[in-house]
Structure formats: C-alpha cells, structure tokens
Structure 1
C-alpha cells in the first residue's frame, strides 16, 4: 500500500537545458506540491545543470542527478509512470497502489514524441491520462487531482480524489492577447472556476512574447 502522506511527483528531465517554458511549468508544479504537502523532484539532471533560483527556493522541490531507476532500484513497485501508451487509465485507487508518479517530460510536445519509451523500458508500471496531450504541469495537476484530490487552484477545494473523466477540462483554448492577436494552444488543460485554463504564472506573457517574436521574424 502507498504511504498516507503526500505523494512524490518526478519529472525525468531529458533535455540538456531548461527553457523558459519548462521553468515556468516546473515552478508551477513545485508551488502546487508545496501548497498541498506533496513533493516535486527533477531527476537525471546533468552535474553542471543550474537550477533557477525561483525553483530551488521552493521547499517541496529537489534536484537530483540520479535517474529514477537508481533512486527506486529496490522498490520500482512504488512508481507509476504516466505513459500515453499504457493499457489502463489512472484511477483514484492508484493512490493506494503508488506513492511516486513519474513523468518523462514528454506530455508538452506538439506533435507528441514517445520520449516515455526510455522510461517504459525500465520496467515501471504505466497509467494513461486520457487521449489528449497535456503540458507537463497539467499532467502533474491532473494526476494529483485523481490520486490525492488536493489542490488550492480547483473547485471544489477538497481532499476527495476524482475519476479522470470527472476532472473539468478545457481543450485547445484560444488565448486572446488583444483585438487582433490570439493563438490556439494544442493541449488539454484543467479548467478553473472562471472557465479559463489553469496555466503557470507568467506563461501567457511568455506565449505572447514568443508569438510577437515569430511575427517579427516575418519582416
């Protein structure tokens, strides 16, 4: 049986660097874990990897150079790999069976890349989060809602885990920057009470900046 305390959420960081998009996502995951008594860990970090100050300042966060297969070499049964190719969807009872939930940093790719395959080969049991692609912070948020029911961002604010299909979603939202500028996000997000997608703080500004940069490249 899983421990009764907060769960541990791990992203096996498969990139050499940490881009601004991932940094905001990781800060969001760490902040939400901190708020509900869970933990967030980045694993397989290169020795020279520099963790951003705002991320390292969050007590729930841990940076780890070891890979998950080394950290949990003796108890792989504790680890659930969130895997788009898994045979079963994540369910509330998985909170009783696992206390570590592992993400391969793959859910935010568009089009999706099967980067989870490297973790799949290491023998971790897998669960799906449904048919639509999510950003990494959304995947962690949905997982926590299903197995713990803990969040400070959602309604109702309770400790009751919810089936995957009962989590409120907004798919492929259009972000409007002004009367003439907008962009459609190719991901599924958790829906906030105001109907808007829950996104990391600063993400909309970053997306707008990237969109402006792309437009400037045309001239």
Structure 2
C-alpha cells in the first residue's frame, strides 16, 4: 500500500515536518508520497519519501482512495485488495473542523473512506489506516479524543483531536510533546 500526503497547508510548518517524519517511520520511505510541495521544500522532505510538486489529482494514481471524515464508508481491512493508494489531506485542521478535505474533493470522481468522524492529526490518520489495512477494524482500536499537555508553567495546551492509543499512551511523533510545550500550537 502507498500512502499519499496531499500537503494542503500554506507553509511547511515545523510541526508538519515532525508529523511527516513520523509518517515515514510508520509506513516506510518507499511507501510514502508527498504532493503539492513547493520546490523550495522538496529537499526537506526527500529523505522521508517521494516528493511531488503536483497535486495527487494530477498524478493519475490508480486505484486510489481518499480518506475523508465525511465519507459514508469506513475504511476496512478488505480495502487492502481494492486500492493501491490511500490519500490523506495534510491538514491538522481547525477546531471545529471546516470540512476542507470534503471541499477540496467536491466535484472529483474518487472513492472515499472515513476513519470515523473525529478529526485526527495526519500522522494519526496514517497510523490508523495502516493498522486497518493490516487487519484491524476501526472499532478494535483505542483512542484519546482530546490531548492535554501540561506546559510546566501552570498552564496546559489542549489539542482537541483524536489520537490512537497503544499500551494506554497516545502514538505521537518523536519530539512532538516537547515542540508543543515549547511553542504552543
């Protein structure tokens, strides 16, 4: 299975790099394609996977499935035999969600699947999709729907996104907690 990240952020933010590196570690460099990347940022991502300046819609990848929380169908292990590419919109998103992925897909004749209705960080969505493609069902995975991070200053950062849990702990990019504690979000 190939995992495609359609980068829809205006910039390549430092937190994007943390997530994208994590995605590469999750699925492997050879199974990862970044699309809509500005030429100036290609060098930053080429060690994580294949990098394309064009949109995934211009690459003619088939058979392809777009992950969209508003899709009527849930991704299932059986989809492994139906698709060669899973596409994720590289948007952490706003809270509450603005439906940018659905907006972006409007008018496109593509297959879609969801990973539930809760908004996830891109690396979480990729991790969950990989687990499903490997045979797990969405309802067999455990999640934390809001992440509270103490900053050490008597304050906390609240991330209202869904994170998958492994052994009772959220699966996060290495350095992500430190980044959020230092920079906020």
Deviation at 1:22, TM superposition (A): 0.9
Question: When you count strand as a share of all residues, which structure comes out higher?
Answer: 2
Determine whether 1:187 maps to 2:154.
Answer: no
Report the Cα distance in structure 2 between the residues aligned to 1:121 and 1:144, rounded to whole angstroms.
27
Q: Which residue is 2:20 aligned to?
A: 26
> Structure 2 matches for 1:60-209, cutoff 5 A?
61-72=49-60, 75=62, 78-116=63-101, 117-148=103-134, 161-178=135-152, 180-193=154-167, 195-209=168-182
Deviation at 1:38, TM superposition (A): 5.8
Deviation at 1:107, TM superposition (A): 4.8
After TM superposition, the score normalised by the length of structure 2 is 0.89
Report the Cα distance in structure 1 between the residues aligned to 2:98 and 2:90, rounded to whole angstroms.
10
Paired residues of 1:106 and 1:112 also in contact (CA < 8 A): no
Which structure would you say has the larger RCO, counting Cα contacts within 8 Å and 6 or more residues apart? 2
Q: Which residue is 1:157 aligned to?
A: none
Report the Cα distance in structure 2 between the residues aligned to 1:191 and 1:8, rounded to whole angstroms.
23
Q: Which runs of 5+ in 2 are unaligned?
A: none
Q: Deviations over 1:89-142 (max 9, x none)?
A: 111111111120001123543221222122343221111111211001000110
Structure 1 stretches of at least 4 aligned residues deviating more than 4 Å after TM superposition: none
Paired residues of 2:7 and 2:37 also in contact (CA < 8 A): yes
After superposition, the CA RMSD in angstroms is: 2.1
Q: Which residue is 1:42 aligned to?
A: 34
Deviation at 1:65, TM superposition (A): 1.4
Paired residues in the alignment total 184
Paired residues of 1:17 and 1:49 also in contact (CA < 8 A): no
Classify the secondary structure of the residue corresponding to 2:50.
Answer: strand
Deviation at 1:70, TM superposition (A): 1.9
Q: Which runs of 5+ in 1 are unaligned?
A: 1-6, 149-160, 215-219
Which structure has the bigger radius of gyration?
A: 1
